[in-house]
Structure 1
Amino acid sequence: MNTGNPIRLLRKATASALLATLLLLGCGGEKPETMLNSAKTFLEKNDHKAAAIQLKNALQKDPQLAEARFLLAKALLEGGDPTGAEVELRKAQGGNYPAEQVTPLLARTMLMLGQPQKVTEELAKAQLTTPAAIADLQTSVGHAYLMQGKEDQAVAAYAAALVAQPGYAPALLGQARLKASRGDLPGALALLDSALEKQPSLYDAWQFKGDMFAAQNDLAAATNAYLKVLEIKPQYLPAHSTIIRILIAEGKLEEAGKQIETLKQFAANHPQTQYLRAMLAYQQKDYAAAREAILLHLKASPESPLGLQLAGLIEYELQAYAQAETYLLKALPRTPPLGLARRVLIASYLRNAQPHKALGILEPVLDKIDKDSNLLALAGQVFLQNGQVDKAGSYFAKAAALDPKNPAKRTSLALINLAKGDSDVAFRDLEQVAAADTGIRADLALITAHLQRREFDQALKSIAALEKKQPDNPLTYNLRGTALLGKRDAAAARKSFEKALALNPAFLPAAANLANMDLNEKKPEDARKRFELVLAKDPKNVEAFMALAQMRAKEGGTTAEVATLISKAVTANPTNPVPRLALISLYLGKKEVKSALAAAQEAVAALPERPEILDAAGRAQQAAEDYNQALVTYQKLSALKPDSPLPYLRMAEIQMASKNKDAALENLQKALKIKPDSLDAQRGIILLDLDAGRSKEALAVAREVQKQRPKEAIGYIFEGDAHASQKAWGDAITAYRTGLKEAPTTDLAVKLHVALLASGNPAEADKYAETWIKEHAKDNRFRLYLAETASMRKDYAGAARQYRILLEAQPDSPTVLNNMAWVSGQLKDPKAVEYAEKANKLAPDQPALLDTLAVLLADKGDYARAMGLFKKALELAPQASLIRLNYAKALIKAGQNSEAKRELDQLAKLGDKFPAQAEVAQLLKGL
């Protein structure tokens, strides 16, 4: 590269610096006007340092010299000090220096300070009179609008500049930037050439031209453009910076070093110089020098995204993973979603045996990596280290399909052969690569393939080879434990998992495997301790908190206990959506709407751009019957995910609930445009058509559904609809019978039974149920459905028969015991209380279970204990209106009418929100 001209010009700059020193020593008795004239001479020669010194000297003698203020601002701006320039310009304004000169320069200064909004708010409407000043100001205003993404206003501003001064080169440059941002590169280049023809010394245009060539990967043309910049403005930092970046990218590290030495002659301490020093040292693998330089860069620019990213890369190479994590997490929101920060952070977590954290960083971009073979392969490793073998295999295969010819990826080729069914060739290739390669990707792929095929002995052989490469990697022993479990060697598997944890006590997959084994052996306390030990080593491990929460929920823990554990996960990682979603779902499931709403509001405040968070918030708002706010939330979701039918389906659901059927239909049709086979949208349209008496239209949609899903036998989806005709029910029954022949599933069996009942054929429905149960004796889901259906029909004897059989298969199921207790109570069976007591012992502090036991005790006359249980249930679930009604009935039986009236009055205030108002009114009337 020829850098001769810029260097010769830099020598002149060095001489100027010596002159500036002399000026500082010899300015004693000169008049302010003399120093002002001297400064003007220096400015004409582009010697901004010397000019600034003379102007400061003049202002020391006469602080009111407004022209000196203005010229000092100009000198400071050219010298790279926009902050100082703004101060002087404001003072020049205060000294009534002409706005024609101050205002355009102030706009440019504010842009350099990154204040585009202030430019448009403060200066866009400034009234100037001279064409040159108007063109200058409007060009800056156009730049400011463009920086804010307001393209229409930018177009108008550039047009105004060109009206004031036709052919004004900086405005043409602005229009070129606008065209380039819209993808019109030929148009942008034409405008650039026009601008440079009118003003060949417009270095910004040469810089932008170089950037455009670089974007098209024409690095030679880009370099020539940047050199042209340096001919015009030898100390222009962006041109030096881009030249150095190109040299580093081309591997010309020695030339890049020389260029950095040139840069240091006039900007030795500039943050950008330190960044480039760090980048070069990183490429030279001199990580200590790279760390020193990047720390200097971050000291001056602590929020620099690229600086933070490079710092993370350097710390990763130095194996300082905790420090790398700190830098990369800070850089992550400010760098591209699939950029280096995310990739290196994931790799850092994997290398540091924290796969759960790697998964948390990967999940937000999983829907964006389908065309990136390297990220797909990385995803495979993440899922494998998290113990999700099937998902790992899927991502490895996708990576292989995208890059089958790369010689460095024979592993990928093997995976493609494996996916095609050519397993002999695939396994041979994987074994060869694993044996020859010091890396472990082929080993992991080979192990994954064997585990997926349940070839546990072969997997163990491959794991032994992996152990020789990485004897201290906990993943190795976790994989061995998985294979041994597959062979049903629980003792050996346990030893392998424990070995993984001995190497890394915070390695969650091994802890989770051991916890599952503990639970299978009826040792829940041991299982709990596994996760607590992980948290002792890694207090911010979200997955460990979530595992503890799930365990507590299964043990029958109170909502408050489970919520506390989930909240700890939220605190540990506020940007992870998983625990926030779990907390909202927990409260919604327990009908604690206010708590769900509060959790949702906090989640949206923390993660306003996450679609799943907005969806959960909308569900919470819907449950709180705040339909308007829910619609606003789903509108935001539709803007965020324009290719998803979900927001429109949610809005339609809300509108149907609020009887706005036309709006609901419109949203369902929008959902169908996005996803023409959306069953939920089709079902909604059918029901709306039926409700409006449009049976032909409903039938047309239903037939379309049947064409799309013949094997599922969705039929005409008339089940449960009050408007369905006998003919329609007959068609539906036929469709379900056909579907059951092709794919006998519990769901279809239930649908057929519902259709038979709804069509007025209870005897045929009972006969079908007997046949299904006879042929599918272990189908407990269908049996539970029959029991619940019988109970609703007040066939308590029939319900009890089904529950008894279910209890034989599930003697410790709190739900089945509770339901059995209820129907036994209706049958006056003395064992009813025994069933309820056992259910509450297995799942303590569950409001529904407490309610059942309390009702049964009150029926027996044990009012003291019954009232205590009712109160406890209502403390846990104050919104549970049915429990409050049962409590009121028990109070009446106990002769406590005033207390009963208080409870009934609360229910009466609910109005239509509580459907049993007729019974409430009747009870109140009888008091």
Structure 2
Amino acid sequence: MNTRHSSMQRLRKVAVSGLLAALLLVGCGGEKPEAMLASAKQYLAKNDPKAATIQLKNALQQKPDLAEARFLLGKALLEAGDATGAEVELRKAQGYKYPADEVTPLLARSLLALGQADKVTSEMASAELSTAQAKADLQTSLAMAYLMQNKPAQAEAAFAAAVAAQAGYPPALLGQARLKASQGDLPAAMALVDAAIATSPELYDAWQLKGDLLSNQGDAAAAMLAYRKTMELRPTYLPAHAAVIRQLLAEGKLDEAAQQLAVMKGIAPGQPQTIYLEALLAYQTKDFPAAREFILELLKRTPDNPLGLQLAGLIEYELKAYPQAESYLLKALPNTSELGIARRVLIASYLRSSQPGKALSVLTPVLDKIENDSNMLALAGQVYIQNGDIEKGGEYFAKAAALDPQNAGKRTSLAMVSLAKGESEVALRDLEKVAAADPGNRADLALIAAHLQRREFDAALQAVASLEKKQADDPLVHNLRGTALLGKRDLSGARASFEKALALSPTYYPAAANLANLDIVEKKPADARQRFETLLANDPKSMQALLALAQLRAKEGGTTEEVAVLINRAVTANPSEPTPRLALIGLYLGKNDTKSALSAAQEAVAAMPDEAAILDAAGRAQQAAGEYNQALATYGKLATLKPDLPLPYLRMAEVEVAAKNKEAALQSLHKALKVMPDSLDAQRGIIMLELDAGRVTEAVAVARAVQKQRPKEAVGYVFEGDLHATKRSWSDAVTAYRAGLKQVPAATELAIKLYATLSVSGNVAEADRFAQTWLKDHPKDARFSLYQAESATARKDFAAAAKLYRPLLEAQPDNAALLNNFAWVAGQLKDPKAIEYAEKANKLAPNQPAVMDTLGVLLVDQGDQGNQARGLALLKEAVALAPQQAMIRLNYAKALIKTGQKTEARSELDELAKLGDKFAAQAEVTALLKGL
């Protein structure tokens, strides 16, 4: 009995174990793959891709070649946001011969989600599908891929094909809406979205796009409702969650953003988009260490994510880790908006770390695109001031102010507008108040620039002292102080300030350049050279220092090869920077060495094939070498790269004129006008070519079109008057200039043109009457008076010229150009003070060939042996600085003759004789050669 009981007990145990095993087998996958496939379909129908994925993976464990399961797994993964996994599974489904009508459209969408637009178009553009739905789906994806490749025409055609395959296909309507939105036609885009929603109200991505459009139109409340509707329709749709979180962050609702982010983390805790928003939230709450941790985690997963790199740069900038910020932002820059936050913060980072040269390098490529961006214009002002270009910095501050004069929050801008209107006292007081209250330096820099431009050096020094209280250890402060002291002619004080700036930052180029300029003025070129070598010891890749050494060698009379070696050092140290490559091409073009220029251009294009400035320089090198077809091809590429700029077509016109194909040039100029209908360069070119072809009526029509486009500007009337003057139709020219003065009564340029035309046409008395009337009505018009003075000099009426120059100099006693011109006139009148004026001009503007020429000639003419020797030295140096200035070389030759150095004079005159008709004073050259 006991034995039987024991046997029965064992049997029951075995039975129970077998049943348990069977139950476990069923629970662990004993269910047939087909049943799991059916279950997965039900989950997909309920919009539960996660549960569907589990069932499909179990089915495929048992039957890996189940094609439909592969396809549905790809679909589920794509809906869950795993595009990488989706592509893998869909390609396997393709391999198992699953119907192309099902797989191909879905695979195209997976590739799009991965950003692989080129694969979509290369692999699927010619795919043959049979059903209308499949065709419409694929054509929509193709259109989106074309858009990603910046091919709007092909995109538009693909969208049209999608709608043709299936009328009113909602995804295609959404694609067309995106295209309209990218073209700025938001109403048309919204109409298409509404049509898609009317057809398919459950289309969640239509509601998402509607939210985006409403957000772009500034309707945040309506946009939020659209995003909420998207989440209602597809609770797991991450872009909708992200859009809501971004909008809440933008509105400063940080707590609500955090709550929404918690929901998103529950849906997709490890997704890159979720991690990015965690970093963004931490950044906005100023928890920068936490933001750094999140962004590092994101970049581990997606190291090339442009938004992630951009945010990483912003975080490092806030943590004052400028080298790290630079590294991230440089990587982000090519894949973010040209005028976006990455470029702005990178520039600001360079300014903060005393690298203004790099800031300028990042700013330069977008200078032609910031005319309507007051913040970028103001940033440009800071960049130029930090680079020591006070004049340009002030100009950009003024432009920024003019764009935003009504914004009371930008008191710096308001003050700059007041300055531009001539309300200087009020403006400067306002700037002082803003600078005192603002912890930043924008107002300080604008104030300093204003004072320096007005040559108010003591006031500038006071403003610098205020800036120093905010940033005492910034080399910029001491460089600005040195600039103001230079204006006061306190050279030793200026030198001390520049040296302090360099002591604070041994790689601060503007201070080194200022010290080098002082060295050159003091005739110490070796010291100047050492400045840059010392800077390079601390920063071997300093592009500015390397190029400065090249420029210095060129001024010293170095050979082209010597200068090229130095520029090539800058190229090698900065292979991705266009500036040194452009300098090398420019060097060879300046020396007429077209073969070397072409070689340098080819290397530059190979290194930077999509850099507009490089392509432009390459085209110029090809044109100079007579390679006109190559030049046209290069400018054609530039036109493709920059379709919104007229420059490529203007360059093509130059090439075609050089190739004597003026009709083709005319066509190119008209293309430029299509790109920019008010391009003055194109209009001017068309006028010249029409005039050259004898089509005066057509030329006048263009000039009058300019007048209509710019009714309050002088330019159109100048065009018309000038074309009549070119044909010596003096009365028509006068009529055009007078008509312009009626429309633009204060236009000095028109007044000068009218005065000149009356004079040259023989109506001297009328010209004088007009001049008297003009100056009576415009007593402060220095430009008109200066033109009169220059005209009197040109006709050798030196007494009249001197009379006109004197009041100009009384108003601007430190104007080097005026002093130089007056010195020449005074010399012709044998005024003993002529040399004194020329000496002052030379001190104010050292190393300027034209000024050195005037002083040199006057010293030689004086006859004193010591002065003659100094005059000859000045003229020789002026020729070295400006070898292309033939008149300076002629004056040097005449001075050599005057001092008995006939052999040297013959050498200079022979050089001038080679110029032939290119030099207007060739008759004098011939006469001088005969007299030797």
What TM-score bracket applies, with the shorter chain setting the length? Answer: 0.7 to 0.9
Deviation at 1:394, TM superposition (A): 2.0
Structure 2 counterpart of 1:477: 478
Shift of 1:281: 0.5
Quick one: distance in 1 between partners of 2:762 and 2:614?
Answer: 37
For the 8 Å contact 1:518–1:524, the answer to whether it is kept is yes
Structure-1 separation of matches of 2:407 and 2:354? 28
1:675 corresponds to: 680
Q: Classify 1:158/1:700 alpha carbon distance in 2 versus 1 (closer, same or farther; 3 Å).
A: same
Residue 429 of structure 1 is matched in structure 2 by 430
| Structure 2 counterpart of 1:271 | 272
Aligned-partner Cα distance in 1 for 2:682–2:141: 51
Give runs of aligned pairs for residues 769-848 of structure 1, distance below 5 A.
Answer: 774-775=828-829, 807=872, 810=875, 812=877, 831=901
Which range moved further: 664-673 or 355-364? 664-673
1:589 corresponds to: 590
Gaps of 5+ in 1: 1-21, 718-728, 754-769, 789-802, 840-847, 853-881, 884-927
**How far apart are the structure 2 equivalents of 1:503 and 1:182?**
50
Q: Does 1:544 align with 2:545?
A: yes
In structure 2, the partner of 1:48 is 49
User: What are the Cα deviations for residues 283-319 of structure 1, in whole angstroms up to 9, with x where unaligned?
Assistant: 0000001111111112222222211111111111000
Equivalent residue for 1:389? 390
Q: Which aligned pairs between 1:79-118 and structure 2 lie closer than 5 A? A: 79-118=80-119
Residue aligning to 2:291:
290
Give TM-score scaled by structure 1 length.
Answer: 0.74
Q: Which moved more, 1:545-554 or 1:461-470?
A: 461-470
SS at match of 1:80: coil
Q: Report if aligned partners of 2:554, 2:563 keep a CA contact under 8 Å in 1.
A: yes
Instruction: Specify the alignment match of 1:631 in structure 2.
Output: 632
- Structure 2 residue matching 1:810: 3-state secondary structure: helix
Q: How does 1:237-636 map to 2 (within 5 A)?
A: 237-608=238-609, 610-636=611-637
1:743 equivalent to 2:797? Answer: no
SS of structure 2 residue aligned to 1:208: helix
The one-letter code of the counterpart of 2:279 is: A
* Distance across 2 between alignment mates of 1:38 and 1:670: 62
- Aligned residue for 1:196? 197
What is the SS of the residue equivalent to 1:188? Answer: helix
Range 374-383 or range 46-55, more displaced: 46-55
* Deviation digits for residues 837-894 of structure 1 (CA, Å, limit 9, x no counterpart): xx9xxxxxxxx99x98xxxxxxxxxxxxxxxxxxxxxxxxxxxxx99xxxxxxxxxxx
- The residue that corresponds to 1:210 in the other structure is 211
SS in 1 for 2:130: coil
Map 1:838-877 → 2, pairs under 5 A: none
TM-fit CA distance, 1:733: 12
Deviation by residue 1:649-670 (Cα, 9 ceiling, x = unmatched): 6545544544445445666788
What is the distance in 2 between the residues matched to 1:23 and 1:470?
74
Aligned to 2:727: 699
Q: CA deviation at 1:398?
A: 2.5
Q: Which runs of 5+ in 2 are unaligned?
A: 1-22, 700-722, 738-748, 772-783, 798-823, 839-848, 858-867, 916-932
Aligned counterparts of 2:434 and 2:753: Cα–Cα separation in 1: 48
Q: List per-residue Cα deviations over 1:716-745 (Å, max 9, x = no partner).
A: 99xxxxxxxxxxx9969999x999997268
CA contact under 8 A between 2:451 and 2:459: conserved in structure 1? yes
2:75·2:86 contact (CA, 8 Å) conserved in 1?
yes
CA contact (8 A) 1:699 1:716 kept: no
Which position in structure 2 is the counterpart of 1:888? Answer: none
Q: CA contact under 8 A between 1:733 and 1:752: conserved in structure 2? A: no
Q: Distance in 2 between matches of 1:587 and 1:488?
A: 37
Deviation at 1:561, TM superposition (A): 1.6
Contact preservation (8 Å) 1:746, 1:781: no
Partner of 1:876: none
Q: What code does the residue aligned with 2:89 have?
A: E
| AA of the residue aligned to 2:350 | Y
Taking the aligned partners of 1:136 and 1:664, their CA distance within structure 2 comes to: 45
Pair 697,743 (structure 1): closer, same or farther in 2 beyond 3 Å = closer
Letter in 2 for 1:391: K
* Change beyond 3 A, Cα 1:308–1:714: farther
CA distance in 1, matches of 2:482, 2:223: 56
Residue 597 (structure 1) shift? 0.6
Q: For 2:469, give the aligned amino acid.
A: K
Paired position in structure 1 for 2:235:
234
Residues 537-546 or 658-667, more deviating: 658-667
> How has the CA–CA distance of structure 1 residues 302 and 820 changed in structure 2, closer, same or farther, with 3 Å as cutoff?
same
Instruction: Name the CA shift for 1:437/1:662 in 2 (closer, same or farther; >3 Å).
Output: closer
TM-score, normalising length: structure 2: 0.74
Counterpart mapping for 1:174-193 below 5 A: 174-193=175-194
Identify the residue that residue 28 of structure 2 maps to in structure 1: 27
Shift of 1:338: 1.8
RMSD (Å), alpha carbons: 4.5
* 1:286 alignment partner AA: D
8 A Cα contact 1:807 1:813, kept in partner: no
Letter in 2 for 1:810: L
SS at the partner of 1:245?
A: helix
Q: Does the residue aligned with 1:85 lie in a helix, a strand or coil?
A: helix
Q: What SS does the aligned partner of 1:548 have?
A: helix
Post-superposition offset of 1:647: 5.4
- Partner amino acid, structure 2, of 1:101: E
1:753-768 alignment to 2 at 5 Å? none
Q: Aligned letter for 1:675?
A: L
CA distance in 1, matches of 2:669, 2:133: 57
Cα distance change of structure 1 residues 663 and 77 upon mapping to structure 2, 3 Å threshold:
closer
2:410 counterpart SS class: helix
Deviation at 1:704, TM superposition (A): 6.9
When residues 481 and 650 of structure 1 are mapped into structure 2, their CA distance, relative to the original with a 3 A threshold, is same
CA distance in 1, matches of 2:141, 2:750: 63
Report the Cα offset of residue 415 of structure 1.
2.8
Letter in 1 for 2:787: A
Q: More deviation in 537-546 or 37-46?
A: 37-46
Which residue type is aligned with residue 632 of structure 1? Answer: A
Q: Do the aligned residues in 1 keep the contact of 2:853 with 2:878 (CA within 8 Å)?
A: no
Shift of 1:220: 1.9
Instruction: Give the superposition deviation at 1:446.
Output: 2.8
**8 Å Cα contact 2:350-2:356 kept in structure 1:** yes
Where relative contact order (Cα < 8 A, 6+ residues apart) is larger, the structure is 1
Q: Is the 8 A contact 2:725 2:733 kept in 1?
A: no
Letter in 2 for 1:743: Y
In percent, how many aligned pairs have the same letter? 59
C-alpha deviation, 1:217, in angstroms: 1.9
What amino acid is aligned across from residue 807 of structure 1 in structure 2?
L
CA distance in 2, matches of 1:83, 1:437: 50
On the 8 A contact 1:260/1:273 being kept in 2, the answer is yes
Q: Does the CA-based 8 Å contact 1:668-1:685 persist in structure 2?
A: no
Change (3 A) 1:523 1:91: same
Q: Deviations over 1:325-359 (max 9, x none)?
A: 11112222222222111111111111111122222
Distance 1:172 1:648, change over 3 A: closer
Equivalences, count: 781
Is contact 1:703-1:716 (8 Å) kept? Answer: no
2:846 maps to none
Task: Quickly say closer, same or farther: Cα 1:471–1:751, change in 2 above 3 A.
Answer: same
Name the amino acid aligned to 1:454: R
State the 1:516 CA deviation: 1.1
